Structure 1
Amino acid sequence: MSTFIKGTLLLVIAAFVGEIVEFITNMVLARELGEKGLGMYMSILPTVFLIVLLASFEMPVSISKFIAEKDKRIHRSMLSHVLKWTIIMTSVLLVLVSIIIPFVPVFDNYHPMFRWLVLILIPIISFTSIARGYFMGRSQMGKIATANFLRKIVQLLLLVYLYNLFDFELEAAVLVAFCTLIGSDLVVFLYLFYVFMIQYQYLKNQPTKRLHGKVVMKNLMQVSVPTTALRVFNAFTSALEPFLITTALMYAGVGKELATEQFGMVAGIAMVIGTFPAFIAHSFMMMLIPTISKAAADRDTAQLQKLLKQVMMITLGYGVPAVVICYFFAEPLTTIFFHSPDAARYVQLLWPCFLFRFFIFPLQAYLIGLGLMKEAFIHGVWSTIVAFAIIYFLGSKSSFGMDGVIIGINAEAILLMLLHYVVVCKRIGVSYFMNPAKQAKA
């Protein structure tokens, strides 16, 4: 069995268990916070993730690509440069965020401590990103799988313990939910960085070759800058989306509280149910980035074509049954697990989004591995513009309301997947029906 298949299976199994844990976590959140509280929690998370994204600067992606492509003798030199830069960048970011965050209005409706707790995540995510990137590049997916599972099980245990031990008002309950998220990330940091430092010390005893800092910076920035730009754009639009949706719904005549509840049902219930199998797609993505990077560096077009066919067929194989199950069993799923039968209709309407999202993850891994992050960024911008336009114009009409919002969400996933697919097929020399083209591009 190839390293790619072994690593993917390991990640899929660990992710499956982790998704079950996360599913239970969302059930706990839905029960304890209610639809309004869940809407508040889901509305603030994109803003928090935007700050966290800046802390990571997409180092897992750029480091894994570098490690997969380059000679092992220069790994230690590269990592030493990255550690120094991370210390500097984290310090600067902490100062900047400390100055800016008091003036960020989205935190005004939350507990006063909420905005300051975000600062704790910055150094945690920054240094965890280095370890993640190294282990991904070395295809040591056991450590990544363990870290992903730890994050989810620790958050669940903390939630259950705290909510059973104390009774919280809504504002405090949302704050506690966020604190458990920080606690789980801290545990992951302690684990990953510990095993990373063990391997870093081991590299000192191996043959090494020094690499100039500018060379390392250039290689990493070629991936990190466009990838971070794309993720920042996605995080910014994700942070904006809850407010766009609720505003559009209020223009359609829906009250503010009801609009928040409807968004909570879509983001906190329907999307959780429908995207449950996405752990498989995410596992493919983590394995594909270093694998595609290595194959592209070796100009192994046959391997690139073969992997694409395999991944697309596997995605189709689990994606279609998953969507069919979600569609026909939407009401039992939303009622039994979330006690929210009203969300069943949203699950059914969102089936195109669920299906096409499964394909987006592996296709994005191809774009990263092939060095096509500029194209990925452009695709993200266009699909978001189209989606936001539909959400606003249809969602603000009383005849559509949330149905119009869902049409926009579906359109974004479909358009993004098709744009990614067309570019990848052209680059590796296959037709849209997976037949080899006459001449593949190098």
Structure 2
Amino acid sequence: MNKFFKGTLLLAVAAFAGECIEFLVNMVLARELGERGLGMYMSILPTIFLIVLLASFELPISISKFIAEKDKKYHYSMLNHVIKLTVIFTAILLPLAIIIIPFISVFDQYHPYLRWAVIAFIPIVSFSSITRGFFMGKQQMGKIATYNFMRKLIQLILLVFLYQIFQFDTQTAVLIAFCTFIGSEIVVFFYLLHMFILQFQHVKREPIERMSGGTVWRSLMAVSIPTTALRVFHALTHAVEPFLIKAALLQAGVSGIVATEHFGMLAGIAMTVGFFPAFIAHSFLIMLIPTVSEAYAEKNTDKLQSLLQQVCIITFLYGIPAVIFFYFFAEPITLNFFHSSDAAIYLQMLWPFFLLHYFIIPMQAFLIGLGLMKEAFYHFVWSTIVSFSVMYVLGSMHSFQMDGIIIGMNAGAVLLFLMHYLTICKKIGVSVLLSPVRFR
């Protein structure tokens, strides 16, 4: 078994355990917060992830790509420049967050301390990005796997402990849910920081060749800027999506409370179940970025074609059985684990959305590794425009409502998959059936 599949298998095993814990976390949240509280939690989550994304500036991806492509003699110089840049970036971002976040209106219906919890989280995210990017680029996936698993385990322990010991009103319960998430990130950050310091000392003892700060900055920004733009747009659309869905349902004659409950069932239950197998796709994503970057830098087209074929085959082998299982056992799953049979129909109708995203996630890694970040961004913009348009038009019709919302989500996934797949095939020289293209 080669290094790529060993790393992927390690990540997948840890991610499976992590997803099991995440499943338990969402069960605890569904029971403790109720449908309204869960709807509030899921509605604000994309906004917080957007702030976290800006704090990381996609450094894990750009650093991992840099380390995979460049000789190790440049790593020490690069890391020195990155640490300095991160200190400057955080020193600028933190005061801006303190000024801006208190005036963001979406936080108004939440506990006032939630804003300050998010602000305090920013420096942790910024410096954690360096450590994660370094270990991803070095393909030391054991540390990344440990990070992902421990983060979710600590969150579950904190949630169970606090909800069992104390009683909270809805606003405070939602705040506690976010604080446990932030607390778990802080704990595992110190683990990564310790391991990074040990590795950094080892890098210092190897032969070193200096790079200018400008060269490092341009190399990282060539990846970080378009990738961050993609992720920001992705986060913005996810932040807007709850309000778009609610607006469409209100237009269709559904009350605000019922609309929030429906979104809670969609995002907190159907999405949780449907994306459970995506831990394999995310494991591929983490491994593919440095692997594809290295193969593309070496102009190893055969390896790229083989990787794409193998990823697609494995995704078929787990994706098809997964969506079939969810379709036929949707009601027992949602009823037994979440005490909500109403979400079962959403899980059944979204099977194309889930299956296609099992493919889309590793394909995004391919696009990044091939240097096609701009194309990935344009694909997502167009698919979102189509998806949101269909969601609002059909969702606002009384005869469709949530059915229209789900049709729009499925339509966007189909378009995004096709654009990603065809672009990758063209770039690495294979047909849509994954056979090499012969040029005359």
User: What TM-score range do you get, normalising by the shorter chain?
Assistant: over 0.9
Which has the larger displacement, 202-211 or 80-89?
Answer: 202-211
Give the aligned partner of residue 435 of structure 1: 435
Distance in 2 between residues matched to 1:76 and 1:307, nearest whole Å: 30
Give the aligned partner of residue 265 of structure 1: 265
Q: CA deviation at 1:284?
A: 0.3
Give the aligned partner of residue 275 of structure 1: 275
Q: CA deviation at 1:342?
A: 0.5
Give the AA of the match of 2:8.
T
Q: Deviation per CA, 1:239-262: give whole Å up to 9, x if none.
A: 010001001101100000000000
Give the aligned partner of residue 41 of structure 2: 41
Distance in 1 between residues matched to 2:303 and 2:389, nearest whole Å: 39
Q: Deviation per CA, 1:345-393: give whole Å up to 9, x if none.
A: 1100110101000001111111000000010000000000001101111
Q: CA deviation at 1:204?
A: 1.3
Q: CA deviation at 1:323?
A: 0.2
Give the aligned partner of residue 82 of structure 1: 82
SS in 1 for 2:276: coil
Give the AA of the match of 2:234.
N
Distance in 2 between residues matched to 1:62 and 1:15, nearest whole Å: 22
Task: Work out whether residues 74 and 209 of structure 1, in 8 Å CA contact, stay in contact via their aligned partners in 2.
Answer: yes
Distance in 2 between residues matched to 1:203 and 1:359, nearest whole Å: 36
Taking structure 2 as the reference length, the TM-score comes to 0.99
Task: Work out whether residues 31 and 338 of structure 1, in 8 Å CA contact, stay in contact via their aligned partners in 2.
Answer: yes
Distance in 2 between residues matched to 1:156 and 1:211, nearest whole Å: 43
Superposed counterparts of 1:155-170, under 5 Å = 155-170=155-170
Superposed counterparts of 1:10-409, under 5 Å = 10-409=10-409
Give the AA of the match of 1:435.
S
Task: Work out whether residues 387 and 412 of structure 1, in 8 Å CA contact, stay in contact via their aligned partners in 2.
Answer: yes
SS in 1 for 2:226: helix
Distance in 2 between residues matched to 1:6 and 1:263, nearest whole Å: 38
Distance in 2 between residues matched to 1:131 and 1:93, nearest whole Å: 19
Give the aligned partner of residue 6 of structure 1: 6
Task: Work out whether residues 429 and 439 of structure 1, in 8 Å CA contact, stay in contact via their aligned partners in 2.
Answer: no
Distance in 2 between residues matched to 1:419 and 1:352, nearest whole Å: 16
Distance in 2 between residues matched to 1:407 and 1:439, nearest whole Å: 40
Distance in 2 between residues matched to 1:61 and 1:321, nearest whole Å: 31
SS in 2 for 1:277: helix
Q: How much is the aligned-residue C-alpha RMSD, in angstroms?
A: 0.8
Give the AA of the match of 2:430.
V
Q: CA deviation at 1:102?
A: 1.5
Give the AA of the match of 1:352.
P
Q: Deviation per CA, 1:138-183: give whole Å up to 9, x if none.
A: 0000000000001100000000000000011111100100000100
Q: Deviation per CA, 1:227-279: give whole Å up to 9, x if none.
A: 00000000011101000100110110000000000000000000000110000
Give the AA of the match of 1:78.
M
Give the AA of the match of 1:80.
N
Alignment: residue pair count: 440
Q: CA deviation at 1:414?
A: 1.4
Distance in 2 between residues matched to 1:235 and 1:338, nearest whole Å: 26
Give the AA of the match of 1:249.
L
Give the AA of the match of 1:437.
V
Q: CA deviation at 1:188?
A: 1.7
Task: Work out whether residues 271 and 347 of structure 1, in 8 Å CA contact, stay in contact via their aligned partners in 2.
Answer: yes
Distance in 2 between residues matched to 1:299 and 1:339, nearest whole Å: 53
Q: Deviation per CA, 1:91-126: give whole Å up to 9, x if none.
A: 111111111111100000000111111011111111
SS in 1 for 2:111: coil
Distance in 1 between residues matched to 2:190 and 2:23, nearest whole Å: 25
Task: Work out whether residues 43 and 242 of structure 1, in 8 Å CA contact, stay in contact via their aligned partners in 2.
Answer: yes
Distance in 2 between residues matched to 1:120 and 1:48, nearest whole Å: 12
Q: CA deviation at 1:425?
A: 0.2
SS in 2 for 1:173: helix
SS in 1 for 2:139: coil
Distance in 1 between residues matched to 2:71 and 2:434, nearest whole Å: 33
Give the AA of the match of 1:298.
E
Q: CA deviation at 1:439?
A: 3.7
Taking structure 1 as the reference length, the TM-score comes to 0.99
Flag structure 2 segments of 5+ consecutive residues without an equivalent.
none
Distance in 2 between residues matched to 1:102 and 1:334, nearest whole Å: 37
Distance in 2 between residues matched to 1:436 and 1:265, nearest whole Å: 44
Distance in 2 between residues matched to 1:189 and 1:412, nearest whole Å: 35
Task: Work out whether residues 136 and 287 of structure 1, in 8 Å CA contact, stay in contact via their aligned partners in 2.
Answer: yes
